[in-house]
Amino acid sequence: MRTQVAIVGAGPSGLLLGALLHRAGIDAVVIEQRGADYVLGRIRAGILEQTTVDLLERAGVGRRVHAEGLRHDGTELAFGGALHRIDFQALTGRHVTVYGQTEVTRDLMAARAEAGLVTVYDAADVAIADWDGGAPKVTYMLDGRRHQLDCDFIAGCDGFHGVCRASLPAGAITAYEKVYPFGWLGVLADVPPATEELVYANHERGFALCSQRSRTRSRYYIQCPSDDRVERWSDDAFWDELRRRLPEHVADHVVTGPALEKSIAPLRSFVAEPMRFGRLFLAGDAAHIVPPTGAKGLNLAASDVGFLADALGEFYGERSDAGIAHYSQRCLARIWKAERFSWWFTSLMHRFPETGEFGARMQRAELDYLVGSQAASTALAENYVGLSLD
């Protein structure tokens, strides 16, 4: 089999790239080691920047996000027993949209199937080769047979543990990483949100987040030790601990219910440089990870594949290598700004055991400054709603 672009990974970044390339008249095949149900069942982010919504529109899958997504013009910071609102709209003239990554994936899957485009699920033993030459290829096992996909380019959209970055020779990349000494215990439940907007809580017992996926489905998180285990947390224990960390008037509005999903996510900051190796490109989690505090993971992945789709469009449409040559530099300029914001916001809102009471008082001083200064509030709002793609 032959295609112009082989996309490894059928998560939202790979599927979005496939949709953007299809709209540009570029042929692409998506190869995924997991089954479609597994991909669709992953519970991930739910906050979309306007640039991501614009890319979904460009890919032809914007109808449902506009019909069902929830516009949020601000967010709440909770500390000292009170709520302090950051008004995105007043400070920046922009907003974010609450729409779950699962729904983004569902929309992209449906569009790909409707267009009759090739997606190979349950591909085992995926391998890439010759990306540094003129004849890249992806091989995989399916139905007991080895298959080969010849292509012009390979897009590695296969996540942090995927084969594409792992296939690079030693010394080809420089990795920058910070692992945080805690994780997020998250619960998804079919209960109405406690508040209209997200609440980020700094509390002496640890961070908490009141998030949502719709008007009837909520996502809640609490900071937990990095070595904690889900089995230690009953639903009742989770709800009790969540309410302890929220201001009383917010805790009183938390509606409890059985967990549809409960998991612990480790927190890390990670960047791999560069993101292009001959005819192989890394995108999304294959190249970078951010703590979820700043809601940047999915949005960075979307901007990566937006840049890559433009670069490949220039190559096939104008026979120009300029976009390809600058892909890594262009992506990394945006990535490092998002990494900085996510690191800063994580450092501000979580309890770090090693910093003690001095660290807690410094956080409180910075939070007081943040909500009392229009300039500081504007900086947070600008980063949260998403910086320019330029």
Cite the active site residues. 72, 200, 292, 296, 384
User: What tokens appear for 26 in the block?
Assistant: 């570029």
Q: For residues 190 and 215, give the distance between their C-alpha atoms in angstroms, rounded to a whole number.
A: 9
How does strand 70-72 pair with strand 137-142?
A: unpaired
Q: For residues 22 and 18, give the distance between their C-alpha atoms in angstroms, rounded to a whole number.
A: 6
DSSP state of 172: S
How does strand 218-225 pair with strand 174-189?
A: antiparallel
* DSSP-H helix ranges across 319-373: 322-325, 327-349, 356-372
Phi/psi at 51 (5° precision): -65, -35
User: What tokens appear for 39 in the block?
Assistant: 């991909």
Q: For residues 334 and 332, give the distance between their C-alpha atoms in angstroms, rounded to a whole number.
A: 5
Q: Burial code of 255-271, b = ≥16 C-beta within 10 A, e = fewer?
A: ebeebeebebeebebbb
User: What tokens appear for 311 in the block?
Assistant: 């670069």
